[in-house]
Chains A and B, each alone.
Chain A
């Protein structure tokens, strides 16, 4: 156990350093966060670390001290449940044998160390073309990678500038990275000659992705992560190219422990929530202090509509990492769903002070304005988020919701459609499209969208209820189809209880009393369990009373009539009359007497 954790630490420590040296800062940040997240040993002794033979220099010793101090701080602020059994809880993933990948040696000082240092400095100052020019004649793999990466970043920078310049009457022509052609030429040559390393393969993969060659890009990225598994950016790009579980299952990946992170994230993206949650909880056994894993678990639970669990995790995250912006847009969506206005305002204020011009920050502020009912301002901030990141899927969907509130149907439809075009599996946008077309009096047209969203999210009762309402609307009057949809909704965790009641009503409309009685009874049971009373309750009691009277089950009918007497309204008088009628029907002799008197 200790040796496994120590190997994880060593791998992450080395990879974070190597990624930073190559200016892959997102991946380095991710690795460093995970390094701090590795669970500490039972008895941390800082002095022992100082005395270990590996720390031979003062700089290394200082770094180790810093890490231990930070880890200790996290440990003290996060008491674990069942603290007494820490040794058992810290058991690593049992029964799983991982492939051991050696950490490659760094060749920093073998190929123009000083020039590399200068180029890296230029890169850090965002002077990408200067960085590339300095490394023009360097032939080492590290230098080749940094030069190509600098050219790529220069092209990306120019592309973003051109997006503003090239807006024409037919819309913004998608500006392309002008460096892609030359980069592909060079990197493909290196790959053919075998003089490319895993970082070069990663860059080659994103170049191919930008050019639209997704199949080859997947192949290259798989090679990259198989030879250097600690580059989370490569895994992220690979995940964005896996748009279906078939593609995911066909990847030829080595069984490194980083693969678990990749699979869990991919499952979350593909809406396979149970599998994702299972893997993340297994990963929590080793990386207990990882904020990333906790944020991912909270996101999974939010997607599974476990809002309370997710909120607790997010609150804990903010306590330990108060200036975090990653995943906070999910938290703001959660607060919006729970209508926690105070918490949302605090969150918006905090991200504004932390980093105002991140798309996530704009989304959080937009959610706050939306909850306040100021939809115009909300749209404004969503548009700002989309300016910063055109592919920000949830911003498109949420902006569509705001346009619905503003009664601007064409704009809402346009926003939802762009969300669907970015991610054809976004059932929320498809659901939004269906709702708008239904509001515009086009239920048959709306069915197309509801059908697609139900196919993508078959366990969400709201989608089936929306489809059913379309079918039973006045222009269509397709009652049989509506019944099928309500049955699906009833089997899919219909928390609002619409489906059972509607099933009963529709069967009643079709004259199928037995089925209607069955569903009314189930509805009654559900309302009793949830202690919910109302018009539906009274309606169910009345129907059941009438039904049982008509089929001759007088005891049951009397039972429901008696319960109806507890309510005020016209149903009470109806119940009284029915009770008298039942009594007369049950005793034949007085009825004969009455008939005799009439004669």
Chain B
């Protein structure tokens, strides 16, 4: 989950800044010619009819839209060759039988001397001036429109061009018109291909994988009811890294697009890198960036893209080199963009402290928390020295992210001088780590609010929600007996911060959408649809020669891209994921499912593959808990196809979790132990790292030992785990481990020892508002009281009734089955209760329990349930039902005691 994502921006609108961002090229001249056809000099006294050769206003407007998109599309940094341009134009020009193409080709070929160029641009100026005697209602091009500004920039560029430039332009025009010439065979190709053979094979495989993943993902998305916008986005990757682009520079004139389009292209590439680094081959991306850098040496953002590329492909040395090179060249003055920091209306974070911020994030990414903290501390100091409040706010947020991400153990020794981080509040005593984290978050929140940095504001709110979810609020300054002694988490604070975090969407909409800031995705999408339309039209041209295709039909092929930038959508989506996590803690399963589904449906396009896989994991976990293992494994197979295992650790862990649960329930203890060992292998051997994974490993090991009835060893493992969780202040895990200890003592017939653990767990759950876990603890308490003797049956029954609403409303199959079994046991243990008088009070819960346990393949509890049913039927005198229940009991006991086909438990 990348919560530290900024808004893409910083690319100035090229239309209004003169010739500095536009250089005249043959492609731009072709566009100018078409603009002239689109808006010819008005005829005096004419009617309001489209000029020749347009047949209708729709036809006329389609050409206008095509011209608009040409000036804004940013799917490549090189201008298209004439052949491709004519192909696109033919798709628009389906009514005049190629008149546009012929006229364009002849017009460009006629430019043979500098005087021809001068005449060409003189005619262009006529587009803006109305002829004498024309009335005010005559149609001519608005100079301030997008096309008007483009045309004026081209005219201005030509006026300021030197004679050498004119000669160059003529030579480029000749090459542009002859760009279809066949290229020769080079001896160089043989050596080049042999040297790059392995790389090419790997890349071809990668491309094939992209297409395979794309098709399967598309089917999977349809199955999951998601939108198909990924089709448009995923298809960009193979095109962007087509190997032919590497050799284009030799054949065609190397004409760059406008600066605005270049920067939009770089932002787009940054989006692709962050969303799914696996779809971008490392070396091909570098080759493309190197080519762009050769053509535009002063466009230093290319180096930043190379840094991102190396970062997301885990190339530490290249990341460091490119990061330092970028900031050495640009001095941080070109600002940061893409996924890093800047926003459209933010103060551009400049100067060298940004380098330290990026360096800290780099070390954070590669797992060097000590170095990251050193870099952040230096960034804080330099930001304060240079009065860079924006950078300071971001650094504080980054430090908070670092502290919350790497866990607590490592930071004890890292922050040797907390005063350097500005977290000293004047008490003279160093604050604890949690308090430092809270101070940093609140300070960053205040700065982001004052400086109006919506992305950072949203990130800070989400981080505060995460903090409040797991930590008890304490006053920072505790004086005297009046200090509050109530130690509980505040769900209201969590919900408030989550709502404020997702409000970034409305803030963005209110501020930015009103300025109609186009990031080029609309134009890019329109042109891509045009290519699809062209192919479709060509294949069916014989059958539908004269069918008129409406403009809006083009958009039916693919969904339109959202006007909101991906970084904003990603932050808003993260808020929903965090909501799902919060409701997991608070024990509301429908709310978990709802939030995850909203995330997977509405934010999947902008999400990174890591976060999207996390959403799938949550949904599959819900399936496993509420629908059983078959449904969960079906969904898991779909998820594994969508997320290759090399890029998703979440999916891999989820598979192991479900397999372990099923093996425990089936009584396949060897398989369960094997899966436990795999958990242990996955975690790092370094102390304090991967603490969540190690915790899960220990929990599963204790449960395996418990199932094998090795109670002493299970208790030892659980006690050791509790010490670890207590040491690292993992409160939620503390409650779970205490409950596990109670279970161990209950199973070993030590109810008296189990009671304190269950009560302690219940107390933890109350403090942290873990309602579902509290219900589970209450149920365990009831079982413990029941084990103490039938005189406590009433007390146990009242406890069960107390927990039933939560369990039946939000609990999983296993928890509900347990509740039903305990309820039946309470009734049967009650000396005053008679089965004869109210048999349904016992049989109904037992029937419900056996249904649930069937889906879970839980032999042990199913055997217990059937045993109780047999006893009940024995009391009722129904011998046939009794014998049937006894037979089922025997089946389950046999399956539990003599496991066979253990290998099946390792397969889905």
> Nearest-CB distance from B384 to chain A (Å)?
10
For A443, the chain B residues whose CB sits under 8 A away are 378
CA distance A293 to B297 in the complex (A): 38
> Nearest-CB distance from B488 to chain A (Å)?
40
Pairwise interchain contact B328-A433, C-beta atoms closer than 8 A: yes
| Chain A CB within 8 A of B299 CB | yes
For A165, the chain B residues whose CB sits under 8 A away are 162, 164-165, 168
| Chain A CB within 8 A of B381 CB | yes
CA distance A413 to B382 in the complex (A): 17
| Chain A CB within 8 A of B310 CB | no
| Chain B CB within 8 A of A475 CB | yes
Taken residue by residue from 164 to 183, chain B's Cβ proximity to chain A (1 for < 8 Å, 0 otherwise) reads as 11001000000000000000
| Chain A CB within 8 A of B186 CB | yes
Pairwise interchain contact A170-B374, C-beta atoms closer than 8 A: no
For A173, the chain B residues whose CB sits under 8 A away are 254, 294-297
Of A181-189, A357-365, A379-387, A581-589, which binds chain B?
A: A181-189
For A410, the chain B residues whose CB sits under 8 A away are 331, 333
Q: A170-B298, A413-B331 are in contact. Are A185 and B186 (CB under 8 A)?
A: yes
**Which residues 328-343 of B sit at the A interface, judged by CB distance below 8 A?**
328-329, 331, 333
Pairwise interchain contact A191-B297, C-beta atoms closer than 8 A: no
For A444, the chain B residues whose CB sits under 8 A away are 356, 374-375, 377-378
Taken residue by residue from 482 to 520, chain B's Cβ proximity to chain A (1 for < 8 Å, 0 otherwise) reads as 000000000000000000000000000000000000000
| Chain A CB within 8 A of B191 CB | yes
For B187, the chain A residues whose CB sits under 8 A away are 184, 188, 191-192
Pairwise interchain contact A414-B328, C-beta atoms closer than 8 A: yes
For B23, the chain A residues whose CB sits under 8 A away are 168-169
Of A82-90, A102-110, A125-133, A209-217, which binds chain B?
A: A209-217
**Which residues 289-303 of B sit at the A interface, judged by CB distance below 8 A?**
294-299
| Chain A CB within 8 A of B656 CB | no
For A166, the chain B residues whose CB sits under 8 A away are 168
CA distance A232 to B869 in the complex (A): 101
| Chain B CB within 8 A of A346 CB | no
| Chain B CB within 8 A of A99 CB | no
**Which residues 181-203 of A sit at the B interface, judged by CB distance below 8 A?**
181, 184-185, 188, 191-192
Most buried by A among B195, B250, B328: B328
Residue of B nearest to A170 (CB): B296
| Chain A CB within 8 A of B256 CB | yes
Residue of B nearest to A211 (CB): B188
CA distance A417 to B327 in the complex (A): 10
**Which residues 425-449 of A sit at the B interface, judged by CB distance below 8 A?**
433, 437, 440-445, 448-449
CA distance A162 to B167 in the complex (A): 11
For A592, the chain B residues whose CB sits under 8 A away are none
For A213, the chain B residues whose CB sits under 8 A away are 188, 191-192
Contact of B320 among A215, A440, A448 (CB under 8 A): A448
Pairwise interchain contact B184-A185, C-beta atoms closer than 8 A: yes
CA distance A437 to B420 in the complex (A): 19
> Nearest-CB distance from A436 to chain B (Å)?
10
For A414, the chain B residues whose CB sits under 8 A away are 328-329, 331
Taken residue by residue from 698 to 730, chain B's Cβ proximity to chain A (1 for < 8 Å, 0 otherwise) reads as 000000000000000000000000000000000
| Chain B CB within 8 A of A172 CB | yes
For B378, the chain A residues whose CB sits under 8 A away are 441-445, 475
Pairwise interchain contact A169-B325, C-beta atoms closer than 8 A: no
Q: A165-B168, A414-B329, A440-B382 are in contact. Are A445 and B375 (CB under 8 A)?
A: yes
| Chain B CB within 8 A of A150 CB | no
Q: A213-B192, A445-B378, A475-B381 are in contact. Are A440 and B186 (CB under 8 A)?
A: no
| Chain B CB within 8 A of A174 CB | yes
For B250, the chain A residues whose CB sits under 8 A away are 181
| Chain A CB within 8 A of B158 CB | no
Contact of B356 among A162, A416, A445 (CB under 8 A): A445
Taken residue by residue from 391 to 422, chain A's Cβ proximity to chain B (1 for < 8 Å, 0 otherwise) reads as 00000000000000000001001101100010
| Chain A CB within 8 A of B59 CB | no
**Which residues 3-29 of B sit at the A interface, judged by CB distance below 8 A?**
19-21, 23
| Chain B CB within 8 A of A298 CB | no
| Chain B CB within 8 A of A506 CB | no
> Nearest-CB distance from A284 to chain B (Å)?
40
CA distance A165 to B374 in the complex (A): 47
Contact of B256 among A170, A192, A211, A215 (CB under 8 A): A170
Taken residue by residue from 145 to 172, chain B's Cβ proximity to chain A (1 for < 8 Å, 0 otherwise) reads as 0000000000000000010110010000
Residue of B nearest to A181 (CB): B250
Contact of B297 among A170, A184, A188, A216 (CB under 8 A): A170
Pairwise interchain contact A208-B295, C-beta atoms closer than 8 A: no
CA distance A191 to B190 in the complex (A): 14
Pairwise interchain contact A188-B325, C-beta atoms closer than 8 A: no
CA distance A443 to B385 in the complex (A): 14
Pairwise interchain contact B359-A445, C-beta atoms closer than 8 A: yes
| Chain B CB within 8 A of A171 CB | yes
Residue of B nearest to A178 (CB): B171
| Chain B CB within 8 A of A476 CB | yes
**Which residues 126-175 of A sit at the B interface, judged by CB distance below 8 A?**
162, 165-166, 168-174
| Chain A CB within 8 A of B87 CB | no
**Which residues 391-434 of B sit at the A interface, judged by CB distance below 8 A?**
417, 420
| Chain A CB within 8 A of B355 CB | yes
**Which residues 261-300 of B sit at the A interface, judged by CB distance below 8 A?**
262, 294-299
CA distance A173 to B356 in the complex (A): 30
CA distance A476 to B370 in the complex (A): 12
CA distance A528 to B573 in the complex (A): 71
For B295, the chain A residues whose CB sits under 8 A away are 170, 173
Residue of A nearest to B21 (CB): A169
Taken residue by residue from 37 to 73, chain A's Cβ proximity to chain B (1 for < 8 Å, 0 otherwise) reads as 0000000000000000000000000000000000000
Residue of A nearest to B168 (CB): A165
Pairwise interchain contact A417-B328, C-beta atoms closer than 8 A: yes
CA distance A444 to B195 in the complex (A): 39
Residue of A nearest to B360 (CB): A444
Residue of A nearest to B332 (CB): A410
Pairwise interchain contact B328-A169, C-beta atoms closer than 8 A: no
Pairwise interchain contact A445-B331, C-beta atoms closer than 8 A: no
Q: A169-B23, A215-B195, A444-B374 are in contact. Are A174 and B297 (CB under 8 A)?
A: yes
| Chain A CB within 8 A of B324 CB | yes
Residue of A nearest to B164 (CB): A165
Q: A165-B162, A165-B164, A441-B385 are in contact. Are A184 and B188 (CB under 8 A)?
A: yes
**Which residues 72-131 of B sit at the A interface, judged by CB distance below 8 A?**
none
**Which residues 305-359 of B sit at the A interface, judged by CB distance below 8 A?**
320, 324-325, 328-329, 331, 333, 352, 355-356, 359
> Nearest-CB distance from A181 to chain B (Å)?
7
Pairwise interchain contact A169-B297, C-beta atoms closer than 8 A: no
Taken residue by residue from 357 to 391, chain B's Cβ proximity to chain A (1 for < 8 Å, 0 otherwise) reads as 00100000000000000110110011001000000
> Nearest-CB distance from B395 to chain A (Å)?
13
Residue of A nearest to B323 (CB): A448
> Nearest-CB distance from B94 to chain A (Å)?
37
Pairwise interchain contact A216-B188, C-beta atoms closer than 8 A: yes
CA distance A208 to B191 in the complex (A): 12
| Chain A CB within 8 A of B259 CB | yes
For B184, the chain A residues whose CB sits under 8 A away are 185
> Nearest-CB distance from A116 to chain B (Å)?
28
CA distance A442 to B385 in the complex (A): 11
> Nearest-CB distance from B575 to chain A (Å)?
34
Residue of B nearest to A476 (CB): B374
Taken residue by residue from 830 to 860, chain B's Cβ proximity to chain A (1 for < 8 Å, 0 otherwise) reads as 0000000000000000000000000000000
CA distance A442 to B420 in the complex (A): 14
What are 14 A-B contacts defined by CB distance under 8 Å?
Answer: A169-B20, A170-B262, A170-B295, A172-B297, A173-B254, A216-B188, A441-B385, A442-B352, A444-B356, A444-B374, A444-B375, A445-B378, A449-B324, A475-B381
Apart from A170-B262, A444-B356: 6 A-B pairs, beta carbons within 8 A: A188-B187, A442-B356, A444-B374, A445-B352, A448-B320, A475-B378
CB-based closest 7 A-B pairs: A171-B298, A170-B296, A417-B328, A188-B187, A171-B297, A410-B331, A165-B164
